[in-house]
Every structure is written in structure tokens, then in C-alpha cells.
């Protein structure tokens, strides 16, 4: 009988976590085995000591701070979802404002002559018969600043 000590299931027995049949077998063994009874007693003491361990409490400010942060996070998310496009456009605008002054451009004094020159170049390379000079001058030209070109006109 004492040859097969049910040592692995003694904690389960202590916690009433065994099947009724298993529990009955362990109980029968315990009735006859002093060493298993001693182990069971030890396990019970260990469990009692652990159950008496003081329970630490979280700092009282921790939860309110946590909840505020979670709510703020959600608000930020909702804001971003709703205003995502606006924010993106504003960011793009901000970047444009920041970097526009850095982009090279011809001085105002040369703008007029530049239009004529560009027109001459364009009509030479891409002849467009129906582009008249007045209509050409009344619409803004696509201007792609190229550093070398600008230097030339300064």
C-alpha cells in the first residue's frame, strides 16, 4: 500500500480538486501512510502561510491616472480618425510654409522677361499654333524652379 505514495496529487487533494474517485483513493492511502500525512500537513501549512501573505495595494492615484490616460488616448484616436484628412492637409501646408522660402525662385524684376523667354523656348520645341501671346500671358505658367536656371537669371 505504502509503495505507491500519491505524492503528485496531494496538493490537489488538499484543494479538493480531485475527482471523487481519486480523492477516495488518496484518503484511503492517507489513513495508512504516516509519511504522506506529514507531507499533507506541510502542504497545508505552506498554503496557510501563503494565504496570510500581506496583500499589497496599488497607489490610490494609479487607477485614476490610468483611466485618464486611456480616455485621452481614445479621444486622440477619435480626433485623428475624424480630422485625419484635415490634419494631413494642415501638416502638408505647414511643411510647404516652412520650406517654400527655401525654394529658389527668380527675383520679381526678371519675371516678365522670363515669361517671354520661356514662351520662345516652348514654341520652338513644342510648336502650338493656337497659343496667342495675350492668352499665354494671362495664365500663370507652370514654373518648375531649377537651381541653375534661376542662377542664370539673377
Residue 34 · residue 66 · CB < 8 Å? no
- Residue 3 or 148: which CB sits closer to Zn ion? 3
Distance of CA 56 to the CA centre of its chain: 32
- Residue 69 or 151: which CB sits closer to other proteins? 69
Q: Is 121 in the site for other proteins (CB under 8 A)?
A: no
Q: Is 62 in the site for other proteins (CB under 8 A)?
A: yes
The one among 24, 27, 28, 63 contacting other proteins by CB under 8 A = 63
Residue 54 · residue 28 · CB < 8 Å? no
Q: Enumerate residues 23-52 that contact Zn ion by CB under 5 A.
A: 33, 36
Q: Enumerate residues 1-60 that contact other proteins by CB under 8 A.
A: 8-12, 15, 17, 41-43, 45-59
> Residue 16: left if φ>0, alpha if ψ -120 to 50, beta else—which one?
left
Give the whole-angstrom CA distance, residue 69 versus residue 63: 10
Give the whole-angstrom CA distance, residue 6 versus residue 2: 9
Q: How far is the CB of 2 from Zn ion (least distance, A)?
A: 5
Q: How far is the CB of 28 from other proteins (least distance, A)?
A: 20
Residue 40 · residue 7 · CB < 8 Å? no
- Residue 43 or 150: which CB sits closer to other proteins? 43
Query: What are the b/e assignments for 51-83, b being 16+ CB within 10 Å?
Result: eeeeeeeeeeeeeeeeeeeeeeeeeeeeeeeee
Contact partner, 43, from other proteins, Zn ion, none, Cβ < 5-8 Å per class: other proteins
> Given the rule CB under 5 A, which residues bind Zn ion?
5, 33, 36
> Given the rule CB under 8 A, which residues bind other proteins?
8-12, 15, 17, 41-43, 45-59, 62-63, 66-67, 69-71, 73-74, 77-78, 81-82
Amino acid at each position: 500500500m505504502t509503495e505507491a505514495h500519491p505524492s503528485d496529487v496531494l496538493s490537489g487533494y488538499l484543494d479538493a480538486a480531485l475527482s471523487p474517485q481519486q480523492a477516495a483513493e488518496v484518503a484511503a492511502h492517507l489513513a495508512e501512510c504516516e509519511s504522506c500525512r506529514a507531507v499533507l500537513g506541510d502542504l497545508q501549512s505552506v498554503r496557510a502561510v501563503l494565504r496570510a501573505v500581506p496583500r499589497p495595494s496599488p497607489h490610490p492615484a494609479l487607477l485614476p491616472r490610468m483611466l485618464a490616460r486611456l480616455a485621452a488616448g481614445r479621444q486622440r484616436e477619435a480626433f485623428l480618425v475624424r480630422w485625419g484628412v484635415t490634419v494631413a492637409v494642415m501638416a502638408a501646408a505647414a511643411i510647404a510654409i516652412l520650406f517654400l522660402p527655401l525654394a529658389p525662385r527668380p527675383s520679381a524684376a526678371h519675371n516678365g522677361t522670363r515669361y517671354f523667354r520661356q514662351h520662345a523656348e516652348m514654341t520652338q520645341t513644342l510648336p502650338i499654333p493656337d497659343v496667342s501671346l495675350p492668352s499665354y500671358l494671362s495664365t500663370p505658367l507652370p514654373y518648375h524652379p531649377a537651381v541653375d536656371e534661376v542662377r542664370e537669371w539673377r
